[in-house]
Amino acid sequence: MTSRTLHLPVSAPDHVESFVEYASLGEAVGYDHVWLPETWGRDAVSVLTRIASETDEIGIGPSVLNVYSRSPALVGQTAATLQELSAGRLRLAVGPSGRAVIEGWHGASFDRPLRRTREFIDVVRAVLSGDVVDYDGDIFSLGGFRLRCDPPETPVPIEAAGMGPTSVELAGRFADGWHAIVFTPDGFRERMADLERGIELGGRTRGDVTTTLSLTASVHEDGEHARRRCRNHLAFYVGAMGTYYRESLARQGYEDEATAIAAAFANDDRDRVHEIVDDEMLADLAIAGTPAEAREQLARWEAIDGLDELAISFPRGATDDEVRQTIRTLGPDT
């Protein structure tokens, strides 16, 4: 059975406490886990610390920490600390992000992202073991590092984001989970073959790897308002976040649409975006509509073969009331 989790808003709320309130609401209506993206707003670690202190049962984790702006040893220390603060509720998700973010925002070279992700996972896992870390990789070399506290009693799953065939294979081979975003149901199923190949290459079993799909959702009494929110959100990801979302959509059969969306976004032509992202394409990439429509759409996504966890996320521009309504409407216990 597919579990339901929350992927908190990318757009920064007015206050840190809003994240805490969304997580608490999610816990109250039955979500299993709350994921926090880290983009250009608050840092994920500080906010997750607050969430851990104000909740009791819901799992926590970043999705994702990029593998360039922090060292893997530091992320290992951070994971050990968050696991202690949350009493064993942490899952850690990492990924390379993309060139526009890493070079444009962090001033680092977007070099060998897959190799870096693989070694990053290795080092974080070694740090969390509590043993002395002596690691000699192509990207990272460490000698003599060891936690000066007890390692976590509950092991921290280390999961990896990926959209392309090779990155998804890497998640299957080396990580404890795969995080997917901007996927159609058929696109997700196609990438499952890459994940399973990685699992086989790593000598693992399917039960060793959790699959999580982040799905944009907007619920509003005015269904067309909700659909506009999601169309604008998709346009931002395709038009402003480098080329990797565009390339992912192209692999999933939407190459012409992705190219046209990027052009329309560059020209600030929102009307054109809404024409390109028709109802069929929107239904393939989001949940959007009235409460009744959203609940009906939810069943299609939870029926995807191979999907362990559906993470409900929110479009850019969603108001506080819209986020809360979406959390409540799609809550497992609602």
CATH of the domain at 316: 3.20.20.30
- How many structural domains are present in the chain? 1
Closest to 329 (Cα-Cα) out of 217, 233, 225, 223? 217
**Is residue 254 in some structural domain?**
no
Interatomic CA distance for residues 17 and 21, integer angstroms = 6
Interatomic CA distance for residues 229 and 239, integer angstroms = 15
What crossing angle do the helices spanning 320-329 and 16-28 adopt, rounded to 10°? 20
What crossing angle do the helices spanning 255-266 and 244-251 adopt, rounded to 10°? 150
Give helix then strand counts, H and E, for the chain.
14, 12
**Is residue 279 in some structural domain?**
no
pLDDT on residue 11: 67
Answer whether 6's CB lies under 8 Å from 23's CB: yes
Q: Print the domain residue range for 162.
A: 3-221+292-329
**Is residue 268 in some structural domain?**
no
Q: What are phi and psi of 30, to 5 degrees?
A: 100, 10
DSSP 253: T
**Is residue 237 in some structural domain?**
no
Give the contacts of 91 (CB within 8 A, at least 6 positions apart): 33, 59, 60, 61, 156, 157, 159, 176, 177
**Is residue 274 in some structural domain?**
no
**Is residue 37 in some structural domain?**
yes
Containing 310, the helix (H) or strand (E) segment is strand 309-313
pLDDT on residue 240: 79
pLDDT < 50 regions, the chain = none
pLDDT on residue 274: 86
**Is residue 246 in some structural domain?**
no
pLDDT on residue 236: 86
**Is residue 315 in some structural domain?**
yes
Beta strand 33-36 with 3-7: parallel, antiparallel or unpaired?
A: parallel
In 137-260 the beta strands, taken as DSSP E runs, fall at: 141-145, 158-161, 177-181, 210-219
pLDDT on residue 90: 98
